[in-house]
């Protein structure tokens, strides 16, 4: 069981680092204005998605597993009107990933099956489930960021052609 627990921790830590690296690959080149631009009236900006991923991980893993005391304002993750400094938002995201990886590595073999509860996650009954669900959720939103980045480039190309 200890070998399985160590493998699970190693794989989760690597996966969360991969998610962070891919997020950075797509958002780092964006200027501040594009980071917060919503290319669709009904959708999110890359910046809001980074706030959401950060809030999700900070609550479900930070507050509920690592006991950081984080208090989530989920609505604000999507509605923040101030165009916060992109570098500060990304630094908060990176600190959150560091916390998640440290939490993953801190799990003893028996911890993975420890009971878990978190508001809005009734399906995650144990820690293994919440680490898995949060990893999938984060990567889902990285996929959305990739799509947004491609749409921003398409819109810029159209604007250049029209000019």
Which helix (H) or strand (E) element contains residue 70?
A: none
Residue that the structure tokens 């921003």 belong to: 152
- Global pTM? 0.95
127-147: average pLDDT? 97
Token pair recorded at residue 70:
């984080």
Cα–Cα distance, 114 to 132 (Å, whole number): 14
Count the alpha carbons within 13 Å of 84 in the hemisphere toward its beta carbon: 19
Cα–Cα distance, 96 to 117 (Å, whole number): 20
Query: What is the three-class DSSP state of 153?
Result: helix
Residue 66's closest CA among 127, 18, 125? Answer: 127
Give residue limits of the domains in the chain: 2-162
Cα–Cα distance, 53 to 139 (Å, whole number): 9
Query: pLDDT by residue (tens digit) across 8-46?
Result: 999 999 999 999 999 999 999 999 999 999 998 889 999
Q: What pLDDT score does 42 carry? A: 86
In a 10 Å sphere around its CB, with 0-12 CB exposed, 13-18 middle and 19+ buried, how is residue 33 labelled? exposed
Whether 1 has a pLDDT exceeding 70, the answer reads no
Which CATH number, 1.10.3720.10, 1.20.120.450, 3.40.640.10, 3.30.390.10, labels domain 2-162? 1.20.120.450
Cα–Cα distance, 90 to 98 (Å, whole number): 12
pLDDT-derived band at 133 (thresholds 50, 70, 90) equals: very high
Query: pLDDT by residue (tens digit) across 64-91?
Result: 999 999 999 999 999 999 999 999 999 9
Q: Taking the CB of residue 34, how many other CB atoms lie within 10 A of it?
A: 20
């Amino acid at each position: 069981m200890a070998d399985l627990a160590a493998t699970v921790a190693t794989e989760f830590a690597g996966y969360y680092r991969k998610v962070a690296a891919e997020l950075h690959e797509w958002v780092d080149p964006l200027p501040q204005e594009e980071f917060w631009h919503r290319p669709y009236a009904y959708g999110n900006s890359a910046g809001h998605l980074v706030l959401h991923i950060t809030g999700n991980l900070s609550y479900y893993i930070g507050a509920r597993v690592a006991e950081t005391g984080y208090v989530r304002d989920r609505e604000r993750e999507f509605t923040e009107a101030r165009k916060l400094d992109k570098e500060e938002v990304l630094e908060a995201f990176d600190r959150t990933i560091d916390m998640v990886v440290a939490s993953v590595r801190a799990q003893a073999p028996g911890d993975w099956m420890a009971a878990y509860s978190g508001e809005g996650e009734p399906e995650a009954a144990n820690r293994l489930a919440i680490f898995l669900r949060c990893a999938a959720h984060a990567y889902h939103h990285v996929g959305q960021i990739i799509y947004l980045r491609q749409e921003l480039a398409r819109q810029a190309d159209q604007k250049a052609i029209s000019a």
